[in-house]
Chains A and B, each alone.
Chain A
């Protein structure tokens, strides 16, 4: 559906030229929801705007369906308003001087040839129903709350049934509860309508919840692009690993390799030794990173326990997170984060206690050292 080849864009600022997007290649299938995930400055918004046609790329090609909308080499550039795209802006950009109905009807009103009033009205009401705002049709846009504006913006983007939907950090300004609700609603909506969606976000939980695939970007490049589960369980780089929740990244050296693809690793900073399961071949003495999800760390309070993959440490902090307990344990010179299920809610772990952290070797993610 959406094909991006060699997309590049540089901005010239007072500090010289900055490469915002560098030679990005991306493919999105029909009906797929792809999230562009990355920290600010990673180029994800710029990429979205290039696809939208709001910014002109310096190099590369963009194809929506069968139409080439951008081809810098051949001088092809279809202006934004002629691309069949719906877009939801981060600030919603609801027009203050129109009521809700007109805001949503606008894309139909400006289209040539123009449909009849009845057709427009029907489509607008249908779009409003999709987002649950059908009772707000005659309200003035300035009286809406943030969440309501967001739904209107979504209705407006969908009213024309575009081939491609672009979302620019749509949930960034909502409170947590609303955000969770909207994640569900938006993904249900676009799946039900089977609209190809490209979404930009810096929030990994949002990306994982909504997207079929995630493209992680950093400094203008796509580092990895895969399904949420794959990226979560088997990231290839430390950057992706830490961005997707495997916050415990320990550097170490391979001490010995066993035949069954298990290896023993000596961790830096006096953290201890770990037995890890290798995905790719490693040799002795090689430097690797081991990434571990917080929920894969189990706390064993019996300090005398001895078994494989036990790291000894001291609890330095406990954070209550409602459904889980977050435990920060100082192991060697590093602090590891462990997320403990509700079973530990009885305050049996205290700060300063010496505990053992146990990790399943299969849950250790081995990454090549950068």
Chain B
């Protein structure tokens, strides 16, 4: 970034907006961060960090990090899990994004929408669906396979590290796919055409040109995937624990559920410290690698037309590949969910459907809190998505286009936000607003604020989008006499609209299915669907939980279509 707008070019309006963005970011992220550090470094364990009797102490950090088992088991398992899941996720998501965005794959819009479906359902239900399908003894697919190949158990066992990795990848792919397809859509085709004209086959063109030029736009999704995989705890809890796999995130969960007494938030926070370290490290690497981002500018004034390759004889193999993936990752789990919603936990049998009933749906809809929960969920998800997208794009602009002092700090703050486990974020918000005189505790507004701490997603996406716009387009606007705010409004925003749309959709979806924060900050007034689902689930009402999940998928499916159109 050799040149950029100094603060002076921005004008007063611009400065106010940027400062507001930074303040908002700090406000949203600092509470969780602050709690994380105070909790980790204050003890003893039976005192909350802000209580009298709490002193600065390394006791929690020592307890956690001086335990050899942490390194032998937890760290090792986490590494295997994260690397495996991200590798599988990345390969699958890139292949899918490539086929959908850069080839003439048939039914592209449908495929796009179906790929996103698993993202609409709370992960815990996805894991239940996969257990339903792949449980070694009674999993539906295993029962079916055993009818053919015989055996007593298996052949597929989801309660293994490969099972966990594949299931986690299936959950991460939609998110990664969305980000990668946004990148692929905006690459300058002339670079690839020049390679083609130089005699390189499509494969060689991809290997030597496309891949290299795409790298900055791919690094961000990769980095996010790593951070998200690291933070995941639903699947490691549901599938990893039975498999004997212990990762950092489940360790946090364990610390928060003691046998007696208070949860030792300090130890949970201490375990969370590596998350921050990993986040900062990844960000540093990312910054170093994209330092010369200007040369990868892909959108300029000459307009662009996406280059699509014709699949020809690879057409049918590609179709088979894509739809096999969709079957395993989307179709079968949805069938499992719908099945559970109409037959509950009944074992797979030929007479199963005789007991099918829609009672679960009736129960859910008749529940007095249901309508409220639906409204709350939509409001909270929409508002928080808007807040985070708006703040994110402002932060991204500061980091990419200005030279103001401290913008690296802003960047770091936005990235570490994703390294904060949601339980800590929820707890921080609770403590903050219980103590503050603002009467939002127990209302949906506190949820909006709590949900809005995930700045990393929108900042990364906006940053990628901004980097791909040639600076001269903004200069042309300035020279034409437009103020900074007009340039942003009429030039920059429309051009990064696809990135903004992606960010909004992503955050909206995450907000819809969020439940950890809702649980920590929940009251009967701000009940959201994720919490409602979890409560049914814990009480043994699997059918009702699955009914909510099914309704979520069905109602959110149009969002996938909108996402496609908005981002196109």
Contact = CB atoms under 8 A, between A and B. Distances in A.
Q: Do chains A and B touch in the complex (CB under 8 A)?
A: yes
Interface of A: 52-54, 79-82, 85-87, 89-91, 93, 95-97, 106-107, 110-111, 142, 153, 156-157, 160, 166
Contact of B198 (A54, A110, A166): A110
A227 B212 CA distance: 44
A279 to B, nearest CB: 42
Contact of A81 (B201, B292, B296): B201
Given A54-B196, A110-B198, A93 B191 contact: yes
A157 B202 CA distance: 18
Contacts of B200: 81, 106-107, 110
Contacts of A111: 199
Interface stretch (B151-159, B203-211, B392-400, B444-452): B203-211
Chain B interface bracket (under 10, 10 to 19, 20 to 34, 35 or more):
20 to 34
Given A93-B194, A95-B191, A107 B199 contact: yes
B487 to A, nearest CB: 24
B214 to A, nearest CB: 11
Contacts of B208: 106, 110
Interface in B278-320: 292, 294-296, 300, 302
A95 B194 contact: yes
B314 to A, nearest CB: 13
A97 B289 CA distance: 12
A142 B295 contact: yes
A52 B295 CA distance: 27
Contacts of A52: 197
Given A95-B191, A110-B201, 14 more contacts: A81-B198, A81-B200, A90-B302, A93-B191, A93-B193, A96-B296, A107-B198, A107-B199, A110-B198, A110-B199, A110-B204, A142-B295, A156-B198, A166-B197
A52 B209 CA distance: 19
B190 A106 contact: no
Given A95-B213, A96-B295, A110-B208, A81 B194 contact: no
B195 interface: yes
A32 to B, nearest CB: 20
B302 to A, nearest CB: 6
Given A81-B205, A95-B209, A96-B296, A106 B197 contact: no
Contacts of B194: 87, 89, 93, 95, 153, 156
Counting chain A CB atoms within 10 Å of each CB, which of B195, B196, B197 scores highest? B197
A186 to B, nearest CB: 17
Interface of B: 188, 190-191, 193-202, 204-205, 208-209, 212-213, 292, 294-296, 300, 302
B423 to A, nearest CB: 42
B305 to A, nearest CB: 10
Contact of B197 (A85, A90, A91, A142): A85
A79 B204 CA distance: 14
- Complex A-B, nearest 6 residue pairs according to Cβ-Cβ distance, in ascending order: A93-B194, A107-B198, A96-B295, A87-B197, A110-B200, A93-B190
Contacts of B205: 81
B312 to A, nearest CB: 9
B197 A80 contact: yes
16 contacts: A52-B197, A89-B190, A91-B300, A93-B193, A95-B191, A95-B212, A96-B296, A106-B198, A107-B199, A107-B200, A110-B199, A110-B208, A111-B199, A142-B295, A156-B198, A160-B199
A53 B188 CA distance: 18
B565 to A, nearest CB: 14
A54 B302 contact: no
B204 A91 contact: no
B199 A81 contact: yes
Nearest to A84: B199
A89 B192 CA distance: 11
Contacts of B188: 91, 93
A85 B198 CA distance: 8
A107 B302 CA distance: 26
B321 to A, nearest CB: 22
Contacts of A106: 195, 198, 200, 208
Given A91-B302, A110-B208, A96 B197 contact: no
A93 to B, nearest CB: 4
Contacts of B195: 81, 95, 106, 110
Given A95-B191, A95-B213, A96-B213, A80 B295 contact: no
Most buried by A among B191, B196, B199, B205: B199
Nearest to A49: B193
Contacts of B190: 89, 91, 93
A157 B198 CA distance: 7
A90 B303 CA distance: 13
A82 B201 CA distance: 8
A79 B197 CA distance: 10
